[in-house]
Chain A
Amino acid sequence: MRVLVVEDEKRLAQNVADGLRQGAGYAVDVALNGESGLFMAESNEYDLVVLDLMLPKLAGPVLLERYRQSGHETPVLILTARDDKRSIINLLNGGADDYLSKPFDLGELLARAKALVRRGKGKPQPVFAVGDLEINWADRTVKRAGKPVELVPMEYRVLEYLASRSRAVVSKTELLEHLYDYNWEKFGNVIEVYISGLRKKIDSNSGTKLIHTLRGHGYALRVEANAETNR
């Protein structure tokens, strides 16, 4: 998952970004003013936008309005130091999905961020199951047939994203787009490495294959009646 944090207070932006990276395993981009925030939000595919209200160059509410006007459906979490009810109501009515008042609890921010991402993907359950594979979004654990599976963080992120896309075929480009932040050089074969790692840990000890490769198209996480045909 990839998150954009738009916050002009550099230290706070850094802390929020670090929290999301370490606590939720998200790829995080940071924008320090409204203008670059809107530009980044519109030019990349994000799974969540964390938005401060008092921003230089372009105020948070304006950014939100333009973002929604251009048709983006990504959940937006507002960070505000002013908790007057009227502006909060206006923001929620204007397309925001949730808000947090400063100073906030980092744990709460992470929980809300995860919940917003989950709902944004149409997954209200905190545990997502594909066949006998269980992915717990909250504490980022994976079980296959009831047994815990140890994944490196990047493997988990690939699996989580595949699961969030609901059995659809996810291209390598989409995975790269959603799993790496702005500062990474994106190499397609990195994804192949993680997919093969995931296969080993999830599929090798089981009769049913869940991770499928569709050559030239991408990957899918699903239970298929005839697994052999797509191999």
Chain B
Amino acid sequence: MKNSLRKQIIVSVLVSQLLLAIGLTLAIVLYSRAQLRSDFNIMLEGRVNTVLAVIHDAEDVSKTLVVEPKRLNIPARDLVEVWDENGSLIWRSPNWNGAPAAVVAGNASTFELDREHGPYRGVVVHKATIFDEEDNPANPLRKVTIVYAASTRELDRRILKIGTLATGASLLLLCLAGLFASYGVSKGLSPMQELAKAAADVSIRNWSFNPPQEARTKRELSPLVDALEVTIASLQRAFDRERESTADAAHELKTAVAILKSSLQLLIYQPRSIDDYQKGLAHALEDCDRLEALVCGTLSVARAQRWAEEGKSDDIQCIDVVNSCEQSVADLHALAQSRSVELRCLANNADECVVRASPADLQTVWVNLLQNAIQHSPPGSTVSLRVSASHPDNALIAVEDAGTGIPAEHLPHVFERFHRGDPSRSRATGGFGLGLSICRAIVEAYDGRIEIKTTDGAGTRVFVSLPTLTKVSS
């Protein structure tokens, strides 16, 4: 089962709110308890004063202190003891058999008691009663100790009530907060769900991606929307390119097969002389060669592209770029001569240009570029191949021709498979529009770059830069 983000957020919000509620309730209860207790103490003190007010000295000689219970107006359940300064009991409320001795003797000012009516809380107060100085000139101040305790049941009940109220209110607020959090989170997450739905609607049949407008305005979601848009657009481009290229390949293959098939069918259409058959078969063989060249070209683009992706190739050697170029120039000498084009190889400060590559691959690149240049050069012009060390760790190879150049509208597409600037001319020379694609795939497989620059009517220059080995490792 999948985790729900919504549930997770709601639960964490509720847990934090629960903690807050518990803390608040505790604080309320503890504060009220302290407040009520201090009120209780004040009340006890007030009652002690009431007791004090009914103490007076007896009429006898010893002037013992007496308490007149009749004048005492205190709750019947309260416990009172009055001691004089000599430690003898003056009066004790009748419902009590005496405070614990420790309470009276000790210095504690408060004490707790457990009685059958519940817990009691008491105070011990040492106070002086003031008597008329004329009556008792020797000692107008008589010290007494009053022990007074009252039931705390009422106090406890009030504390409990406050606690219950606080807890109830907290729980109610918690429920409300939970509902609100659930609603808020659902509403907050809805653009995300819509975004997911919009993304799920994208398929190879339908590339349109319509993110909800709300998702775009959310700071957390807008980067996701942007990233999705960019990814989908680039996927679509790649997919379209791939489909187009497959369709182009199919078109070329079908055409090549159509030529071969029609040649053979034409040959068997009617009886012919042996001479005609031989000529026809030679033609068919040429068509076969063409088909083979097309298949090989398509495969070598695919292979070089796979290398570029997987980063491996067989037969990697250290190759001197100048050597490799000179060899290709020599190979194409005959072709150049047949078209009255001069072919030159110029090396400029390129003694140290050594690259790691497959020799056959590099030859393929140079031969393709030179063939293109020768085919598009007017008779009597020059095609030159310049090698230079442009940077300390880069070899720059430039192939220049003085042909008609490439029209600007074709320039962005020249490296695409099966692209032909001028189909009639390329076909007349037997090209499939694969040469430059092969070159680019190979150059990129070796981490190099290939660029083409052209001036309309004033020739084309193709630049290839390849990373070279440093002097030490070479």
* A interface with B by C-beta (< 8 Å): 8-12, 15-16, 18-19, 22-23, 32-33, 54-57, 81-82, 101-107, 109
B259 contacts A9, C-beta separation under 8 Å:
yes
Which 7 pairs, one residue from A and one from B, show the smallest C-beta to C-beta distance? A106-B265, A103-B258, A15-B262, A102-B258, A56-B423, A81-B254, A103-B257
Whether the pair B255, A9 counts as a contact (CB closer than 8 A) is: yes
Can you give 27 A-B contacts (C-beta < 8 A)?
A: A8-B423, A8-B424, A9-B427, A10-B428, A11-B259, A11-B286, A12-B258, A12-B262, A15-B266, A18-B266, A19-B262, A19-B266, A19-B269, A22-B266, A22-B269, A22-B270, A54-B251, A55-B423, A56-B423, A81-B250, A82-B250, A102-B258, A103-B260, A103-B262, A104-B261, A105-B261, A106-B265
CA–CA, A81 and B250, complex, Å: 8
13 additional contacts (CB under 8 A) given A8-B423, A103-B255: A9-B258, A11-B259, A15-B259, A15-B266, A19-B266, A32-B424, A33-B424, A81-B254, A81-B255, A82-B250, A102-B254, A102-B258, A107-B269
Task: State in angstroms the CA–CA spacing of A19 and B265 once bound together.
Answer: 9
Contact A12 B266 (CB under 8 A): no
A60 to chain B, nearest CB (A): 12
A81-B255, A102-B258 are contacts. A11–B424 as well, Cβ < 8 Å?
A: no
With both beta carbons as reference points, the residue of chain A lying nearest to B265 in the complex is identified as: A106
Q: A13 CB to closest chain B CB, in angstroms?
A: 9
Q: Closest approach, in angstroms, between the C-beta of A205 and any C-beta of chain B?
A: 29
Is B404 in contact with chain A by the CB < 8 A criterion?
no
**Cα A103 to Cα B259 with chains together (Å):** 8
Tell yes or no: B400 within 8 A of A by CB: no
B258 pairs with A104, CB closer than 8 A: yes
Chain B positions 234 through 270: 1 when the CB is less than 8 Å from some CB of chain A, otherwise 0: 0000000000000100110011011111110110011
Q: Give the distance in Å from the alpha carbon of A54 to the alpha carbon of B251 in the complex.
A: 9
- CA gap between A18 and B287 in the complex, in Å: 16
Q: Give the residues in chain B near A22, CB-CB below 8 Å.
A: 266, 269-270
- Tell me which residues across on chain B come within 8 A of A16, comparing CB atoms: 262
Check if A81 sits within 8 Å of B258, measured CB to CB: yes
* Alpha-carbon distance A19/B428, docked complex (angstroms): 22
- A56: chain B residues within 8 A (beta carbon): 420, 422-424
- Docked complex: B250-303 residues within 8 A CB-CB of A: 250-251, 254-255, 257-263, 265-266, 269-270, 283, 286-287, 290
Within 8 A of A (CB), among B35-74: none
Interface of B, secondary structure class, is helix
Bound CA span A101–B420, Å:
22
**A107–B265 alpha-carbon span in the complex (Å):** 8
Closest residue of B by beta carbon distance from A52:
B255
- Are A106 and B254 neighbours in the complex by a CB distance under 8 Å? no
Query: Which residues of B line the A interface, CB within 8 A?
Result: 247, 250-251, 254-255, 257-263, 265-266, 269-270, 283, 286-287, 290, 420, 422-424, 427-428
Chain A residue nearest to B423 (CB atoms) is A56
Give B288 Cβ to nearest chain A Cβ, in Å. Answer: 12
Distance to closest chain A CB from B321 (angstroms)? 36
Could you tell me the distance between the alpha carbons of A9 and B422 in the complex, rounded to whole angstroms?
A: 13
Q: Which residues of A contact B262 (CB under 8 A)?
A: 12, 15-16, 19, 103-104, 106, 109
Q: Which residues of A contact B269 (CB under 8 A)?
A: 19, 22-23, 106-107
- Selected contact of B255 from candidates A12, A33, A107, CB within 8 Å: A12
- Bound-state CA distance A16–B259 (Å) is 9
**How far apart are B371's CB and chain A's nearest CB, in angstroms?**
19
Q: In whole angstroms, how far apart are the Cα atoms of A102 and B253 in the complex?
A: 9
Q: Which residues of B contact A10 (CB under 8 A)?
A: 427-428
Residue with the greatest number of chain A CB neighbours at <10 A, chosen from B262, B269, B287, B428:
B262
Q: In the complex, A33→B428 CA distance in Å?
A: 12
How far is B306's CA from A120's CA once the two chains are assembled, in angstroms? 53
Output the least CB separation between B247 and chain A (Å). 7
Neighbouring B residues of A18 by C-beta, 8 Å: 266
Q: Is the CB of A81 within 8 A of B251?
A: yes
- Whether A57 touches B424, Cβ cut-off 8 Å, given contacts A19-B265, A23-B269, is yes
A125 to chain B, nearest CB (A): 25
A82 with B251: CB separation less than 8 A: yes
Residues of chain A within 8 A of B251, CB atoms compared = 54, 81-82
Q: Closest Cβ of chain A: how far from B265's Cβ, in Å?
A: 4
- Chain B residues with Cβ below 8 Å from A23 are 269-270
Give the residues in chain A near B420, CB-CB below 8 Å.
56
Q: Tell me which residues across on chain B come within 8 A of A11, comparing CB atoms.
A: 259, 263, 283, 286-287, 290
Question: For the complex, what is the distance from the CA of A15 to the CA of B256, rounded to whole Å?
Answer: 12
Query: CB-CB < 8 A to B428: which residues of A?
Result: 10
For A109, list chain B residues within 8 Å (CB). Answer: 262
Inside 8 A of A8's CB, which chain B residues have their CB? 423-424, 427
**Which residue in A32, A33, A81, A103 is a CB contact (below 8 Å) of B261?**
A103
A127 to B400 alpha-carbon distance, docked (Å): 63
In chain B, what residue has the closest Cβ to A56? B423
Q: How far is the CA of A158 from the CA of B304 in the complex (A)?
A: 58
Nearest chain A residue, comparing its CB with the CB of B268: A106
Task: For residue A222, give the distance in angstroms from its CB to the closest CB of chain B.
Answer: 33
B265 contact from A55, A82, A105, Cβ within 8 A? A105
Q: How far is the CA of A102 from the CA of B422 in the complex (A)?
A: 22
B449 to chain A, nearest CB (A): 30
In the bound complex, residues from chain B placing their C-beta under 8 Å from that of A57 are 424
B103 to chain A, nearest CB (A): 107
In the assembly, what is the distance between CA of A158 and CA of B117, in Å?
140
Tell me how far the C-beta of B358 lies from the nearest C-beta in chain A, rounded to whole angstroms. 33
Of the residues A33, A55, A106, contact of B266 by C-beta under 8 Å: A106
